A and B are shown apart, each in its own frame.
Chain A
Amino acid sequence: MTQTKTTQPGSEQELKHPQDHLLRSDRLPHIWCATCGIGTVLKCFIEAIDRSKIPYDDIAIVSGIGCTGRVAGYVKLDSYHTTHGRAIPFATGLKLANRRLKVVVFSGDGDLSAIGGNHLIHAARRNMDITVVCVNNFIYGMTGGQAAPTTPGTAVTSTTPWGAFEPAFNLPQLLEACGASYVARWTSLHVRRLTKSFTEALLKKGFSFVEAIAPCSTLYARRNRLGSGYDLMKFYHDHSEIRHGADVNEVDIGFQDKITVGKFIDRDRPTWLELNDQQHEATLGEKYYRHAETIAAAAEADAAAPPTGTAEKTQDGGKDSGKDGGKNGGKDDSKEGSHA
């Protein structure tokens, strides 16, 4: 790994980020504003990659366009920064061409639910075997703070200067209705729970979706006079309500209203690839050609080396098991937000 030399103001000490092994430190400084929530979400995600034990070389990250769309450029994995809204179909192609890959889409609410909304719902319907991380900051940040399909209530944005009035998407409800296998929502305050959900989503078969509510203090908070990034974190702390398995019809987010968080959906449905194979085997029998380069190779490799064994070669084996067991102990940490 590249040794990063970062000098903090007023200090001669050389600092190295603890996740440097999966960050492109040669691309620092990043473009995100101070107190932006994306960095925190990314930190949780990288921690989850390590916990998942998925070999690094088997993971591909695909982003669309926007502030969160830049995530692909900072993660030291095979990463693709594509076009606005199109990360999901790109990821779909990547996954179908190489079934061995764990393909993750990391993008923002505008990218995924507005311009890319059609791809989002169809990928969930197909139960395409990909993980989608949606950082929801209620706004288009990169372009200067315009209203998004997720902008709640009467929030002021640059394109709703007198207050928004369109109803906002309730993303968990949308994804549940479309058929996603896994749906969770946390805020960037809930770092341990978010990390746990990311880990579960990465290991979940089928379409998994994690919504991470994150502050945009530069545009959303400033225009709505919500204070600093710290004030937003305080707001998350005071107004988040953890309700695992909540009815997704009741988790919509109003302007400065409570934010229901938790793991809402965790179910097993056959994936697109499984159904594709099943149907063709049922109708074609022996004639069906299972794509040897991918499935057979993957099966052989899996038989030869179980995922954890493989992971140890490219991931630092038991590195986080201690952390996980010690700090979380499989229980929720009550310091993160208030319980219902």
Chain B
Amino acid sequence: MARADPGHVLTGSHYLDGDHACTEGALSAGCNFIAGYPITPSTEVVERFARRIPTVGGTFIQMEDEIASITAILGAAWGGAKVMTVTSGPGFSLMMENIGLGAMLETPCVIVNVQRGGPSTGLPTMVGQADIMQARWGSHGDYEIIALAPQSPQEAYTLTIEAFNLAEKYRTPVMVMLDECIGHMTEKVVIPEADSIELTERRKTDKPPGEYLPFAVGEDMIPDMAHAGEGHRYHITSLTHDEQGYPVMSAEVQDKLVRRLCDKIRNNTDEIVMLEEDGLDDADVVVLSYGITSRVARAAVDDAREKGLKVGRLRLLTVWPFPERYIRELAERVKAFVVPEINYGQLVLEVERCAAGRAQTILLPHMGGDVHDPAVILQAIEEAAS
């Protein structure tokens, strides 16, 4: 583990919104390249980066669209930079093809989506959580992705650092699924001393030119990387490829590659997943939530407990990969999951799949533009407990 560079870290207590905190997280993580395109409610992230980066050391470029933005960060990562791009719904949709390219080329990068109401232009200035399934499945073909969901400006800071670390460790695009509420919510954010911030370094090859195979892997299934200009003169392709990086059009090579792209994350789900549980030991009902909704859910759970109900809270900091085994086990000992989310039922499908009928799954949808009324969640808890 490396430590953060003090020149990048704004140590101290700050009053920041989630977007700005996200920028500081990126800088603390050593991000030195962002390509972005303006879109509400995410633009503040790149605006702060554009202001800060010239004195920190790195590059900001405003591209012609989000397709260019995601592709430019992939190029920059192969050029040796630590990279991020930032967007919201419509831009996230435009990025999808090249998020797949990032997954296929196993390019470490961070994609921040400050979610707003959709579909289409939807509610540009108002909250949504309806891009959760798109984060997982948005690009074509089979791949796995890592996505994190902060619930506060403080977590926008810490989870952005974590996103960079996961991107480097697993050589994959990692998404930070912010939402408009957290992006625009201003709170105290404590930025620690640089030497207390642990950073995962890029997995660079130690093989000399001529011996390096760009996609050869060991037991952990994650290849070591080499940047352009380091003398390897390798070939990297978006086509199905072998260990050497050469395209091979065959079912056998496709099978080997796609399984590895998925399994390098699937097999490490337990290690990747971060969640926060509260009062689950004797709970009959579990309120499962993520992002801004977890803060609303907390009020409802507190009220329910005051009424003497056995209710616990489960908050997912990692939405992808989904904590499948954990939910399956929990479903064995609780009566019901209550799942509030600001969409018409997305992550609830995963909960339902893992519960597999062993516990009831209750969706509390909200179409966006606002957060849930805690009273609605409380009512659902009461009904589930009775």
Contacts and interface: CB of A to CB of B under 8 A. Distances in A.
B233 A57 contact: yes
Interface string A50-63: 00000011101010
A60 B228 contact: yes
B61 to A, nearest CB: 6
Nearest to A22: B233
A292 B235 contact: no
A50 to B, nearest CB: 15
A56 B97 CA distance: 31
A93 B232 CA distance: 19
B80 to A, nearest CB: 5
B75 A97 contact: yes
Interface string A72-113: 110011111111001011111111111011000000000000
Interface string A9-36: 0000000000000001001000000000
A293 B83 CA distance: 15
B119 interface: no
A339 interface: no
Nearest to B209: A57
A119 B64 contact: yes
Interface in B39-71: 54-59, 61, 63-65, 67-69, 71
A280 interface: yes
B213 interface: no
Interface residues of A, number: 46
A100 B33 CA distance: 16
B233 A96 contact: no
Given A57-B229, A82-B101, A96-B59, A118 B79 contact: no
Given A77-B233, A284-B55, A92 B61 contact: yes
A80 B79 CA distance: 11
Contacts of B35: 89, 92-93
A54 B376 CA distance: 67
B231 interface: yes
Contact of A72 (B68, B77, B235): B235
B238 A81 contact: yes
A327 to B, nearest CB: 28
B73 interface: yes
A98 B79 contact: yes
A214 B75 CA distance: 28
A90 B75 contact: yes
Contact of A118 (B68, B72, B101, B227): B68
A124 B225 CA distance: 31
B98 interface: yes
Nearest to A31: B247
Contact of B234 (A56, A78, A82, A90): A78
A291 interface: yes
Contacts of A276: 59
Q: Which of the four size classes fits the interface of chain B?
A: 35 or more
Nearest to B63: A89
B235 A93 contact: no
Contacts of A122: 63-64, 68
A94 B237 contact: no
B74 interface: yes
A101 B228 contact: yes
Interface in B118-160: none
Given A78-B233, A81-B237, A93-B33, A98 B227 contact: yes
A287 interface: yes
A97 B236 contact: no
B55 A93 contact: no
Interface in B238-291: 238-239, 246-247
B81 interface: yes
Q: Determine which residue in A72, A73, A90, A292 has the highest number of CB atoms from chain B within 10 A of its CB, and name it.
A: A90
B236 A92 contact: no
Contacts of A91: 75
Nearest to B247: A73
A289 B60 CA distance: 13
B380 interface: no
B79 A27 contact: no
A96 B33 contact: yes
A58 B231 CA distance: 8
A230 interface: no
B74 A57 contact: no
30 contacts: A57-B233, A65-B238, A73-B247, A78-B232, A79-B235, A80-B75, A81-B236, A81-B237, A82-B74, A82-B238, A83-B238, A88-B68, A89-B63, A89-B72, A90-B72, A90-B75, A93-B33, A94-B79, A96-B59, A96-B72, A97-B76, A97-B79, A97-B81, A97-B83, A118-B64, A119-B64, A276-B59, A280-B54, A288-B54, A289-B55
Interface of B: 32-33, 35, 54-59, 61, 63-65, 67-69, 71-81, 83, 97-98, 101, 227-239, 246-247
**10 A-B pairs with the lowest CB-CB distances in the bound complex, closest first:** A93-B75, A97-B79, A93-B76, A93-B72, A90-B75, A81-B237, A89-B71, A89-B68, A97-B81, A97-B76
